[in-house]
Chain A
């Protein structure tokens, strides 16, 4: 059997291969930036007068939601690219971004719920943004279940891509309808300059974390697929 060299694997993975070489640097940047952002949250940013300490959740809550929705967009774009090109790495990227985004949106909902209890006195309220996040959580959980089903790989990839596209198209509609249903989120939050700076650092640090997680998950997925192919080749004697 022909063993694939690192170079072969690198070429097969296309752009993903070049992205993987950046993962250690991204992980290091994420670690440093998160340390800085946590320090800024508790040392530099002033305590909000009415909400007090629970307001600090905002610095994690917003970046989590922000990057989750960016991840949903990556799933959408990668799904489109897969349907257009049929290349496996786009399908793997869509899945990796979907998984990471579901984790982030779930953490965002959990942190938002704690914040809601502190500011509104309830764990949950049917506010537009919360409802949108929850509905998208359900949609992408369904998307990930489909990706784990026992279906022929090519058909599964196509089904996943179609759902990945449809799910993202639903985001603005879910938001608009949830806003018309009930809306109590503040339209805009006025922040002190120190708070704005802290939020910016948090957004950037989560960007590094988000890219690292997607990169690692994508690498794991492609490695898994490569091993499955090699195993199948060995079992059926191809190339021996």
Chain B
């Protein structure tokens, strides 16, 4: 399953890298959000650490909606989905492959968003950055687990971006709350007593939704319409 997933992830990443606009569209949306939120600031003043962390995760959230819609749209034309369905690999490898490709793209996007947050929203990264990196990895894992599952559900629908967003944003709220609190601690350098609790909740989210996605993905990814 892992080998098939790696092949699918590599195929998706190569396809998107070769198409103009793929990742750039998602990146641009995230950067635009950071810029738009910076308009709420009084000139000369910075945003609070919690506000900046919230903007970072909102940009990541909108970015991943586009990423997973793009990833699942790759096989929409000419019935190419049949190729994946007929491949001698469990259906869950498609979920895992898309999740891995999505994780790579989301991480690259966040590498761009973070300096943008520091520059535009006047933030600093404190010595708590290792906690921030751990939170980033754990929260991104949860986001891509749900994103890869729900992206398959929205596949093929004309309003897939909005459909995907209205379902995934409230579902991901436990991760976003954790990401915002840990991010605020990393930006402000304040006591991070609660960070471990937030990371535990996020890990629980990852475990529950990875298991659920493995069970539910075969029902979500089909051509019986």
Contact = CB atoms under 8 A, between A and B. Distances in A.
Interface string B200-225: 01001100110010001001101011
Contact of B201 (A135, A136, A165, A176): A176
B197 interface: yes
Interface string A135-160: 11011011101100101101100110
A146 B163 contact: yes
B197 A83 contact: no
Summarize B's interface: helix, strand, loop or mixed. Answer: helix
Interface of B: 146, 149-150, 153, 157, 159, 163, 166-167, 169-171, 173-174, 177-178, 181, 194, 197-198, 201, 204-205, 208-209, 212, 216, 219-220, 222, 224-225
Contacts, number: 88
B163 A174 contact: no
> In which size bucket is the chain A interface?
20 to 34
Given A146-B163, A158-B219, A166-B146, A177 B173 contact: yes
A159 B153 contact: yes
A83 B219 contact: yes
Summarize A's interface: helix, strand, loop or mixed. Answer: helix
B212 A166 contact: yes
A167 B172 CA distance: 10
Nearest to B204: A173
A162 interface: yes
Contacts of A154: 224-225
Contacts of B181: 180-181
Contact of A149 (B163, B174, B177, B205): B163
Contact of A162 (B177, B208, B220): B220
